[in-house]
Chains A and B, each alone.
Chain A
Amino acid sequence: MTKTKIGMWLTAAAVWTAAAAFPAPPAETPTKIRLEEVLTIGGPDEETLFQWTGVAVDESGAIYVLDALDFSLKKFDAQGRLLKKTGRKGQGPGEFSMPRWLAVDKEYVFASDQPVAGLCVFDRDLNFRKTIRLSGLVDALESRPGGGVAVVVSNFQDPGRIVLLDRRGEVEGEVRYMTKSDGPLLDSVNIAAGTGDVFTLGFLFQDKVEKWDAAGLMSWTANLFGGKAVETKMIGGFALPQDTCVLDIAVDGRGRTFALGGKRAKNRGRDVFVLNPDGKVETMFVLPEPSHCLYIDDRNFLYVRADDGITLKKYRMVFE
């Protein structure tokens, strides 16, 4: 079983506006963060979202959502009205078999499909434009502030690679956050981009959050749960990690990192740790419901899951 197959298996078993301007959070250290719900998409009383996986928001507040149950990519306006839907089950252009990650820049929407070594590219009206081929499966995806995307490419022989693509899908550079993995899946990360092509990585199976720049230099590394190594269990001849640490990660407009705790956290999928731009844990808060995903748009609104994935919630974060 290759690392990528293990990753697919684990991922599968397990198997994601108010137009008013949001006041910038205060610069001082917040002691408490309170969530105010501003928008709900989907829910138990409507057939809008079925098991959403990826979310991305453009500068107008339009919300793009990937759904793993109806194999769709949907676009909602800032008030949560469905504008368009595309995609279906399959392996052809614009089709999905296990849609997962999503990113949007000023021109395109980039979507990953877990068994596919590449990205599906749509314009922002959800017309399929092209497929970008990559050398491995996509572990994580994030838009870059200047356009294009940063893609964590999964490859057992060659772990720890972030490929930087420009808007046309051409490779612009590469960041190495690991050159050798001590075991299967230990290079699995989520990624969040900050201003100036810096990336924060949250490790799924290691108690680590790290900040890197596009030149391949690490600014800091932080632990959220004491730094203890994750226990492993031999499955099929592989020592597979048993606990998840960071399920997802996001960065706000102030450069603060928000890390969603996994099994290691007291409240799995609900505890959110807030790190300052220097990597120090400032505070934390607890989501109302477990989420697999944490997304912050450029107005600092927070998007998370509810109702086991049939609901997307948008919150204003109030720093107190």
Chain B
Amino acid sequence: MRAGWKVWPIAAVMAFLSLASPGQSPPSRVDRLVLLLIDVETLACAPCSAPLDELGRALPSSVLAERLKGILIYRDPDLQGPSGRRGRIARVRWSGFARGHEVRFPAAFDDGQSFQIEFGAGFAAILVDFEAGTVRKIPGPIRAREIAEIVSFACR
């Protein structure tokens, strides 16, 4: 599955989530979902990651836990996945970031490199409305206006 910014059917989102979070049920009871596509290699860039902190402050814990999902993207030219060097480095880096920034939303690694996008800077977002059957893509860079849109969508 290598969709890039092409059409992303909801079925594909569900399939990814079930693959990326083995043992966890896809969010079938959630009516909407915000996928945050996070470039793990820019986590140390403070301006790039600042919008993530803003989202964390703007959204209540219940919304963060249920309606947000981080998709952690890293470069893995050899497609070695979670046991490869790149995958392990990405996991260590995210672990430190999540601790330092007190991240409160769940996240999964895109080991299969399903998401190939241009981030702009740091991260991008996909807003999935299961009830309406729509998918809206918000490319990076994420700024105040985009954060407001994400917050509005997640809290609606």
| A and B held together in a complex | yes
Counting CB contacts under 8 A, is A70 at the interface?
A: yes
A35-60 interface bits toward B, Cβ cutoff 8 Å, 1 = contact, 0 = none: 00000001111110111000000000
Evaluate whether A310 and B93 lie within 8 angstroms (CB atoms) in the complex, with A15-B46, A44-B85 already known: yes
**Complex CA–CA separation, A70 to B121 (angstroms):** 20
Most buried by A among B47, B91, B93: B93
Cβ distance A46 to chain B, nearest Cβ, rounded Å: 8
**Complex CA–CA separation, A98 to B48 (angstroms):** 12
Counting CB contacts under 8 A, is A69 at the interface?
A: yes
Q: Which of A15, A50, A97 contacts B96 (CB 8 A)?
A: A50
List B residues 14-59 near A (Cβ within 8 Å): 41-48
Counting CB contacts under 8 A, is A225 at the interface?
A: no
Evaluate whether A51 and B47 lie within 8 angstroms (CB atoms) in the complex, with A45-B88, A89-B100 already known: no
Question: Within 8 Å CB of B6, what residues of A?
Answer: none
Counting CB contacts under 8 A, is B92 at the interface?
A: yes
List A residues 280-320 near B (Cβ within 8 Å): 307-310
Question: Within 8 Å CB of B136, what residues of A?
Answer: none
Question: Within 8 Å CB of A12, what residues of B?
Answer: 45-48
> In the complex, which residue of chain A has the Cβ closest to the Cβ of B42?
A15
> In the complex, which residue of chain A has the Cβ closest to the Cβ of B92?
A310
B97 in contact with A50 (CB, 8 Å):
yes
Question: Within 8 Å CB of B45, what residues of A?
Answer: 12-15
**Complex CA–CA separation, A44 to B88 (angstroms):** 5
> In the complex, which residue of chain A has the Cβ closest to the Cβ of B91?
A44
> In the complex, which residue of chain A has the Cβ closest to the Cβ of B41?
A308
Question: Within 8 Å CB of A44, what residues of B?
Answer: 85, 88-89, 91-92
Question: Within 8 Å CB of B114, what residues of A?
Answer: none
Counting CB contacts under 8 A, is B143 at the interface?
A: no
Counting CB contacts under 8 A, is B61 at the interface?
A: no
B83-120 interface bits toward A, Cβ cutoff 8 Å, 1 = contact, 0 = none: 00100110111011101111000000000000000000
> In the complex, which residue of chain A has the Cβ closest to the Cβ of B87?
A44
A79-113 interface bits toward B, Cβ cutoff 8 Å, 1 = contact, 0 = none: 00000000011000000011000000000000000
Other A-B contacts than A45-B88, A50-B99, 6 sampled, CB-CB below 8 A, are: A13-B47, A13-B121, A14-B45, A44-B89, A97-B46, A310-B93
| B interface with A by C-beta (< 8 Å) | 41-48, 85, 88-89, 91-93, 95-97, 99-102, 121
Closest 6 CB pairs of A and B: A50-B96, A44-B88, A69-B96, A70-B100, A15-B45, A51-B44
